[in-house]
Structure 1
Amino acid sequence: MTTENNDILFGNGDELPSNHSTNPHIQDVISAGRRKVVVGGAALGAMAFLGAAIPGLARAAEPSAQGLKDLPFRRRTRLPFSPVAVTRADAITVPAGYSATTFIPWGTPITGSYPTWMEDASNSAEDQAQQVGMHHDGMHFFPMNAKLGGRQSDHGLLVLNHEYIQAPLLHPNGPTVVDGKRVDVDEVRKEINAHGVSVVEIRRGPSGDWSVLPTARNRRITGATPMRIEGPARGHALMRTRYSPSGTSTRGTLNNCANGHTPWGTYLTCEENWAGYFATADSDLPRELSRYGVRGSGRYGWETVAGDEFERFNASHIATDPQADYRNEPNTFGWIVEIDPFDPNSTPVKHTALGRFAHEGLVFAPVRPGRPVVCYSGDDSQNEYIYKYVSRDRYRPQRSDGRLLDEGTLYVARFNTDGSGDWLALDHADPAFQRACEAAGVQFADQGEVLINTRLAADVVGATKMDRPEWGAVNPDSGEVYFTLTNNSGRKETDASNPRAPNAFGHIIRWREASRDFAGTRFNWDIYLLAGPQDNSRGPKGRALDESNIMASPDGLWFDDEGRLWIQTDMSGSQLRSGPFGNNQMLVSDPRTGETKRFLVGPQGAEVTGITATPDFRTLFVNIQHPGEDSTATNYTSTWPDGPGRRPRSATVIVTRDDGKRLM
């Protein structure tokens, strides 16, 4: 029997909250009465929301030379386009003078025998392993001469994530389920192959059109691709499985949301809501499963299929020895994975020093020769945390590689009520960490166990709970770090300073590191933007958002090389169906002036996510995920991009100016 109404949840993968610590919430910090917020060395006065001024939002950020004297400031015009209107059209809407072209939708053949996409979705699992995956997300363009420091703009590798799948659309008639179990092996294998990452070699022709090149560099990394484990958790007892008794390898990467790219020219894909792929029949779960939300049944029911490639999704205690079952398999997920896009034979690496949680992305601070590398990542779940990693070793141009991500210190953020902040080390050798563990009655055997239980370690040191930390971006003009806090339906506390509960609309927070090299443990923070409708929002200038820029659930963030901040939204449910916001959108904001305009609106039911550009800034790549999110095999709520009667497909959109010049 084929049915969509069964005990298996074929959902979008958002995990239920699992943080039950008593740590302060960011809204408690914001709402802690009258306070001083220090931004760029200037006291900004008391902060409130609605009915009172918000000095932290009253003006756009002023450049500060403190610790940033070697970061160049750029001259540019104001945002040179007319904002597009809110719309619920099943199309891509961009400003006059710009064009948007669909590129590499799900199912595009890129490697192997280049199997043709079948409009009824009847392609096999083997076909899917040679085609672009489902549900495009984070993405980066690598110039073909990037390894040599080049900025070639007409030829390169486009590397993109595929976050999750819609099983009702992936198969001709939806998934086959009998008595609550999956019975079609090829269907399940196809679902695993539709996850992961695509590496696509592309070229811009003389007329400006982009095409896929059929070369050996094209590659699919899937939920079954062999991966190497590095860093402090490599070989740990909690990483050992039937597949890898040594605890040094695993298979696949899943729920790849946002991304990053390294100074040495590799791609980073980030495992977000991975816990729901696993199931366990155990009633007494270890903390490395319970704190991450592993529960009784898997999201797609993969664990119900016979065979080792599927049984690994069953994290139950089946054997007497962890090396004889897959109780530890979930511990091999929740990491940041490094991929060398220029070497199709390379083995992806999971870097455990960066911590295990629902990684939304990884963004690097400005890199300086002879200094450590610093990078930031958010844990995208309600009431989770923001992290920073500082490498032990120093960056050496043309010599450094991924080993910089294997030895270093992972920190978690505490946002103080006076506008200051602290980075708290999650370091087993740190006396302060040991004291915090002793006070909490929590023990870790070694640094590997700390990192496998990153969330618990952050609970112990007293990190600040955040409203779903998602993408981060670093301003190339000022060095300030921006993070989206998308929303939090679970927040209940309110006061005069923060009357929105739950936080349905989200906001953007930013901070300035106190240390010149970004590696220190102190920072100052403020709120850049409070999303929402015109009567419940604040823009960078301190005034309410208006019809040109109202938004909700900010998610994706990216700075272009001239310091403009691009903001993408991920509304769902009632925010998409009704109210003032229309479909999900992408806006551009200038932190120096505060000017913010809507640049693009996506089709019905889609998330706008993932953004990158060619170095000449003549081509912008934007990903459109799950158009017609509520579609079934027989009822399409969107037919983008192929038109009426066609199955909706995630795709990349190429945005260019009609006159062929730089986008702005």
Structure 2
Amino acid sequence: MSNEVRNQITIVDNGNGDEPQVSYTDNRPFASVLEARLARRSLLKGSAGVAALGFMSLGLAGCLSSSDSDDDDVGGGDAGNGGEVGPLIGFTAVAPSESDEIVVPPGYSYQVILPWGTPITGTMPAFDITNTGEEQGMQMGSHHDGMHFFPIEGEEPFEGSSDEGLLVMNHEYVEPRFMHADHIGVALGSGAIVMKGDVRDRDQALKEINAHGVSVVHVRKRADNRWELVQSEYNRRITGLTPMELHGPVRGSDLVKTKYSPQGLATRGTLNNCAMGVTPWNTYMAAEENWAGYFGNRDETIPREHAHYGIRANDSRYRWALAEGGGDEFIRFDATSTGADATQDYRNEPNCFGWMVEIDPFDPNSVPKKRTSLGRFGHEGVVFGPAIEGKPVVCYSGDDSTNQFIYKFVSEQPFQKGVTDGSILDTGVLYVARFNDDGTGEWLPLVYGQNGLDASNGFRDQADVLVNTRLAAGLVGATPMDRPEWGAVDPNNGDVYFTLTNNSGRSTANGANPRTQNRHGHIIRWAEAGGEHASTTFEWDIFLFGGDAGQSGQANLAGKDPNGDALTVDNLLSSPDGLWIDKDSRVWIQTDIGEGSQNSGVYEVFGNNAMLCADPKTGEMRRFLTGPIGQEITGVITTPDQRTMFINVQHPGATTTPTEWELGPRYVRSSWPDRNPARLPPRSATVVIWKDDGGVIGS
């Protein structure tokens, strides 16, 4: 780039765009609860109700080494595939890696498919760094995240064809320096943008908006185990501009009335979609996580529905509101009050985000629906309990920010197979979790008129409670947690698991658990009372602690596996994030050590981000996969026969420094997956994995 051109630009870097990690309540921090709980964890072992679910069996099981487990007849067997008996985990552990490769165990193979920019619809524009914003709307989005494989029959979300289906995936955010030709050779960090004076290039802003959202892709397995894209009417892009409807108690509220929808019935687009969910009626739920940073509000007084989510006075993450030439599709990201009332501006536009978005992948003409009964916060995803005929639908969601909460929704109406659709999520009760010292817990209802959620605390109605979910949860006494992220429900016993990725800002110390800084995170697990997911009480314990057997700075911070034994080179991990439990109860755990920490300091021992597999019955855990440089492993699902696995690799090369990027493409830290740094930047992509002998993944 010439000096003349350089002098005409302004570089803006908001980092990764995540919301500020701030505690908004004075509730008792989880650290103090955890201290007491660990001292009393033996209490649960004698609980008949919990024992009936198989919960806490880990505390009684012996710890098996890798060599022992291959020889002994233990584990859950291959219950999903004919009831074969054998160890649940049968692969050789992969070592930590700092290579720019995907590494899988011996006896496994993989294929890379659907990288960012793959044409899937419209005029099928081939990927190139010079693609326009319109072309991006016809291609795979950026930064692949949570996903699901829907069998092509379109009847059941986890049963049906294992050779053909719809792969539906989220695209969390973008890395502008890898997207635009004029960003090459400029000293830019992973979240930085280039301004032309006081404005953004209009087409670049459009390209970034269209790289967000969700992709629906028809895929088919070939005879050689490799998968291919099928050109069909199912292929679809849902972006940051796609028209969407608001449903549930917030629909029509004054809090969501905007210039675009004066009646408060609709909005445009979905943003920062991280994890996801799959409904029992075969639709896809996209989570809106760190959406707040896309907005700015320069009003003298920021309303609580903005302030409690990190919306600040400065301009938004990518400065889309400053796109050259304006237009509502861009101006809406400025939430400043500029009109006579809310129907004349976009002061309420942020209130239209922070929801779970339901998408019917089998109807490309369907309008996505934001289900407001599930609450407004930094949704990492949503996980459904088993759908039982005649009983309520139950689902769980975590708010991915430090000192935030875990939620549960229980529908008002019972599930009826073949009849129930997404409207069942519009009426019911949203609860928030409180974890007690004695290993018990309570679900606290977030209902207008109860527990202080009334006019005395500024709430007008149930819509107000849901728009201000975080505030409501704090007021009723929920337990602030260490970044609740992905959840999973064991299909065989109903246990619920949630990853708590980390909280380096924790200041509470104690002798029993001196994690003054929870750098490495942990996984919590609970069983609902009586085995009923709609219950209002539960019993909980810690499934595992992240760490590295004491090498991270404090001896008592040693990572612990599900049996409480120190993690080893075969299974040490930090910052558990992605989570999924397969048909046989294998717990798949994905890590997300932040790009600013990978392979350095106390995180050096962990190598690149990885995916591990744990057996909740025996407590055994092994590392299954490591990814390339600078990425996050995220999104995991298998085909119904469990013989093909899909995972996503997000933001490879994100650890490239501004200086390295300025020096040119050959200095980018990752060239994955194209291996052509002179022409193509690193790209997020999907990885297909299979066992060479045709067996079940993980066995």
Match of 2:145 in 1: 137
Contact 1:472 1:484 in 2 (8 A): yes
Question: Residue type of the partner of 1:137?
Answer: D
Secondary structure in structure 1 of the residue aligned to 2:646: strand
After TM superposition, the structure 1 stretch with the greater mean CA deviation from structure 2, 19-28 or 443-452, is: 19-28
Question: Residue type of the partner of 1:530?
Answer: F
Match of 1:621 in 2: 646
Contact 1:25 1:466 in 2 (8 A): yes
In the alignment, the residues of structure 2 paired with residue 576 and residue 323 of structure 1 have an alpha-carbon distance, to the nearest angstrom, of: 49
Contact 1:380 1:470 in 2 (8 A): yes
Is 1:29 the equivalent of 2:33? yes
Give the TM-score of the pair, scaled to structure 2: 0.88
Question: Residue type of the partner of 2:539?
Answer: N
In the alignment, the residues of structure 1 paired with residue 586 and residue 156 of structure 2 have an alpha-carbon distance, to the nearest angstrom, of: 27
Determine which of 576, 596, 604 is the counterpart of 2:599. 576
Contact 1:111 1:219 in 2 (8 A): yes
Aligned CA distance change for structure 1 residues 80 and 32 (closer, same or farther; 3 Å): closer
Post-superposition shift, 1:6? Answer: 5.0
Residues 521-540 of structure 1: per-residue CA shift (max 9 Å, x gap): 10000001000012211111
In the alignment, the residues of structure 2 paired with residue 5 and residue 551 of structure 1 have an alpha-carbon distance, to the nearest angstrom, of: 42
In the alignment, the residues of structure 2 paired with residue 37 and residue 5 of structure 1 have an alpha-carbon distance, to the nearest angstrom, of: 58
Match of 1:47 in 2: none
Secondary structure in structure 1 of the residue aligned to 2:606: coil
Runs of 4+ in 1 over 6 A off after TM superposition: none
Post-superposition shift, 1:661? Answer: 2.7
Is 1:504 the equivalent of 2:519? yes
Secondary structure in structure 1 of the residue aligned to 2:13: coil
Aligned CA distance change for structure 1 residues 565 and 302 (closer, same or farther; 3 Å): same
Secondary structure in structure 2 of the residue aligned to 1:182: coil
Aligned CA distance change for structure 1 residues 327 and 209 (closer, same or farther; 3 Å): same
Determine which of 119, 124, 127 is the counterpart of 2:135. 127
Secondary structure in structure 1 of the residue aligned to 2:329: helix
- Identical columns (%): 50
Post-superposition shift, 1:271? Answer: 0.1
In the alignment, the residues of structure 1 paired with residue 303 and residue 674 of structure 2 have an alpha-carbon distance, to the nearest angstrom, of: 47
Match of 1:464 in 2: 479
In the alignment, the residues of structure 2 paired with residue 464 and residue 201 of structure 1 have an alpha-carbon distance, to the nearest angstrom, of: 42
Match of 2:626 in 1: 601
Contact 1:288 1:331 in 2 (8 A): yes
Secondary structure in structure 2 of the residue aligned to 1:483: strand
Match of 2:336 in 1: 316
In the alignment, the residues of structure 2 paired with residue 289 and residue 19 of structure 1 have an alpha-carbon distance, to the nearest angstrom, of: 15
Residues 298-354 of structure 1: per-residue CA shift (max 9 Å, x gap): 010111121111000000011121100000000000000000000000000000000
Aligned CA distance change for structure 1 residues 642 and 323 (closer, same or farther; 3 Å): same
Report 1:322-361 matches (<5 A): 322-361=342-381
Aligned CA distance change for structure 1 residues 603 and 4 (closer, same or farther; 3 Å): farther
Secondary structure in structure 2 of the residue aligned to 1:147: coil
Post-superposition shift, 1:409? Answer: 0.3
Post-superposition shift, 1:4? Answer: 12
Match of 1:155 in 2: 164
Aligned CA distance change for structure 1 residues 212 and 292 (closer, same or farther; 3 Å): same
Determine which of 15, 21, 25 is the counterpart of 1:17. 21
Question: Residue type of the partner of 1:42?
Answer: G
Contact 1:59 1:594 in 2 (8 A): no
Match of 2:199 in 1: 182
Match of 2:674 in 1: 642
Give the TM-score of the pair, scaled to structure 1: 0.92
Contact 1:640 1:648 in 2 (8 A): yes
Question: Residue type of the partner of 2:29?
Answer: H
Match of 1:561 in 2: 583
Residues 524-557 of structure 1: per-residue CA shift (max 9 Å, x gap): 0000100001221111111100010000000000
Aligned CA distance change for structure 1 residues 34 and 250 (closer, same or farther; 3 Å): closer
Secondary structure in structure 2 of the residue aligned to 1:588: strand
Secondary structure in structure 2 of the residue aligned to 1:445: coil
Aligned CA distance change for structure 1 residues 104 and 413 (closer, same or farther; 3 Å): same
Match of 2:541 in 1: 526
In the alignment, the residues of structure 2 paired with residue 584 and residue 3 of structure 1 have an alpha-carbon distance, to the nearest angstrom, of: 38
Question: Residue type of the partner of 1:314?
Answer: D
Post-superposition shift, 1:658? Answer: 1.4
Match of 1:587 in 2: 612
Secondary structure in structure 2 of the residue aligned to 1:187: helix
Is 1:203 the equivalent of 2:220? yes
Contact 1:39 1:512 in 2 (8 A): no
Contact 1:59 1:540 in 2 (8 A): no
In the alignment, the residues of structure 1 paired with residue 40 and residue 83 of structure 2 have an alpha-carbon distance, to the nearest angstrom, of: 28
Q: Pick the structure with more helix per residue.
A: 2
Question: Residue type of the partner of 1:31?
Answer: E
After TM superposition, the structure 1 stretch with the greater mean CA deviation from structure 2, 479-488 or 11-20, is: 11-20
Post-superposition shift, 1:61? Answer: 10
Is 1:299 the equivalent of 2:331? no
In the alignment, the residues of structure 2 paired with residue 350 and residue 413 of structure 1 have an alpha-carbon distance, to the nearest angstrom, of: 23
Match of 1:51 in 2: none
Match of 1:382 in 2: 402
Post-superposition shift, 1:35? Answer: 4.8
Match of 2:52 in 1: none
In the alignment, the residues of structure 2 paired with residue 411 and residue 236 of structure 1 have an alpha-carbon distance, to the nearest angstrom, of: 21
Post-superposition shift, 1:59? Answer: 4.5
Is 1:165 the equivalent of 2:197? no
Contact 1:60 1:540 in 2 (8 A): no
Structure 1 residue runs without a partner (length 5+): 45-54, 63-71
Contact 2:334 2:347 in 1 (8 A): yes
Contact 1:57 1:538 in 2 (8 A): no
Determine which of 218, 221, 245 is the counterpart of 1:228. 245
Secondary structure in structure 2 of the residue aligned to 1:330: helix
In the alignment, the residues of structure 1 paired with residue 8 and residue 650 of structure 2 have an alpha-carbon distance, to the nearest angstrom, of: 21
Question: Residue type of the partner of 2:536?
Answer: T
Contact 1:10 1:167 in 2 (8 A): no
Contact 2:448 2:454 in 1 (8 A): no
RMSD: 2.2
In the alignment, the residues of structure 1 paired with residue 8 and residue 655 of structure 2 have an alpha-carbon distance, to the nearest angstrom, of: 12
Is 1:100 the equivalent of 2:115? no
In the alignment, the residues of structure 1 paired with residue 156 and residue 514 of structure 2 have an alpha-carbon distance, to the nearest angstrom, of: 52
Secondary structure in structure 1 of the residue aligned to 2:458: coil
